[in-house]
Amino acid sequence: MPAYAFFHGQFMPLSEARIGIMTHALHYGTACFEGIRGHWDSEQERFCLFRIHDHYKRMLEGCRILKIGSPYSIDALWQLTGELLEKSGYRESVYIRPLAYKSSEVLAIRLHNVEDDFLIAVTTFPPYLDVEKGVRCCTSSWRRVDDTMVPPRGKICGIYVNSALAKTEAQENGFDEAILLTHDGHVCEGSAENIFLVLQGKLVTPPSSDDILMGITRDTVIKLAKNELGVDTIERQVDRSELYVAEECFFTGTAAAIAPILEIDRRVIGRGEIGEMTARLQKLFGEVMLGRNPKYSGWYYLVAPGTPIQSGRKRII
Ligand code: PMP
């Protein structure tokens, strides 16, 4: 199946979507992106684009930070995404990558007076971390950039150099993933995931003021824990050593889903196996991400290929 793209206002095979070598974003990282999973439900023959509205809302917030104008409203963006998915012909789970970027082919280190463009690519993407076996992590020697440097609340492309440095260091040292600390030494997040601890039966996760990306999976887990398990999440600063004494630890992210952490800095977490809370949240998340729990229908954009397009808009089930 050829990967597909929405580029320069048109749908086309990904192989035909090309940008010039002097493009501003390529040189300076002046772009922001999203990662959205399109979960294929083979029983229902439909995709569930999970919390797509929230993904585009976050992307447009990043655009404001970078002074990138969007020619599309949030509603138009997710409808475009549905159309792209339909045209791509996939019948398996996909990964959708919208990118808003500084497109002028100029040498100019600035955000103003530079043109913008927007594209969406759709492709397949294997699981990012092993959610069944769990992962082994290290604390990174790299610190997370903070809001006074490049604001981490946006998925700003240039910032991912920070993530890539940490991820490569971790993997080359034999770990699966890195945990980055903030500039002042508190637990921040993984290279592309938020982090949760279970401490005395409660969920604990770093707050927005600790330079995390405000993850959509993080928010989903907080709400599922509260509504379905009656468990509150405490958003507060977390010390590194709290990781070592936690009963359970896990990552959350669109790419990573809910990934249990079994070891950090060569210390076993809890019993060194997937914890009870983590497993219960994984099960709940597995149902909602496929669009199967009607209680959370506001989170689903269900795209059933082959159903009629009404007034130029994909039918929303
Ligand atoms: N932190 C970072 C740095 C990320 O790149 C991601 C992935 N988007 C996350 C956290 C998790 O966010 P989400 O659950 O919205 O995918």
Active site residue 155: yes
Give which of 273, 254, 237 is closest to 97, Cα–Cα.
254
Where do we find the tokens 């592309």? 192
For 169-209, the pLDDT digits (tens) are: 999 999 999 999 999 999 999 999 999 999 999 999 999 99
For 145-171, the pLDDT digits (tens) are: 999 999 999 999 999 999 999 999 999
For ligand 1, atom 11, which residue shows the shortest CA distance?
253
Give which of 153, 194, 156, 167 is closest to 66, Cα–Cα.
156
Number of the ligand 1 atom closest to the C-alpha atom of 159: 3
Number of the ligand 1 atom closest to the C-alpha atom of 58: 15
Residue 316: per-residue pLDDT: 43
For 203-248, the pLDDT digits (tens) are: 999 999 999 999 999 999 999 999 999 999 999 999 999 999 999 9
Residue 70: per-residue pLDDT: 83
CATH architecture for residues 4-126+294-303:
2-Layer Sandwich (3.30)
For ligand 1, atom 2, which residue shows the shortest CA distance?
192
Pocket of ligand 1 (CB under 6 A): 35, 163, 189, 192-194, 213, 215-218, 252-254
Q: How far apart are CA 305 and CA 100, in angstroms?
A: 26
Q: How far apart are CA 178 and CA 130, in angstroms?
A: 14
Where do runs of H (alpha helix) occur along 239-311?
240-245, 276-289
| Cα dihedral 69, 158, 120, 188 in deg (nearest 10) | -100
Q: How far apart are CA 281 and CA 266, in angstroms?
A: 25
Separation of 213 CA from ligand 1 center, angstroms? 6
Q: Dig out the tokens for 182 from the structure.
A: 């903030």
Separation of 55 CA from ligand 1 center, angstroms? 10
Q: Which CATH class is domain 135-274?
A: alpha beta
Give me the catalytic one of 155, 226, 283, 314.
155
Partner residues linked to 138 by β-bridges: 178
Phi first, then psi: what are they for 87, rounded to 5°? -70, -30
- On whether the CB atoms of residues 224 and 281 are closer than 8 A, the answer is yes
Q: What count of other Cβ atoms lies within 10 Å of the Cβ of residue 212?
A: 24
Q: Where are the domains of the chain?
A: 4-126+294-303, 135-274
pTM score, two decimals? 0.95
Q: Which of 162, 165, 180, 193 to mutate to test the pocket of ligand 1 (most atoms within 8 A of CB)?
A: 193
At residue 315 the predicted structure's pLDDT band, cuts being 50, 70 and 90, is very low
Residue 311: per-residue pLDDT: 37
For ligand 1, atom 3, which residue shows the shortest CA distance?
192
Q: Which of 217, 221, 224, 288 to mutate to test the pocket of ligand 1 (most atoms within 8 A of CB)?
A: 217
Q: Measured between alpha carbons, how far is residue 175 from residues 131, 141, 246 in Å?
A: 15, 13, 19
Show Cβ contacts of residue 241 under 8 Å, excluding neighbours closer than 6 positions: none
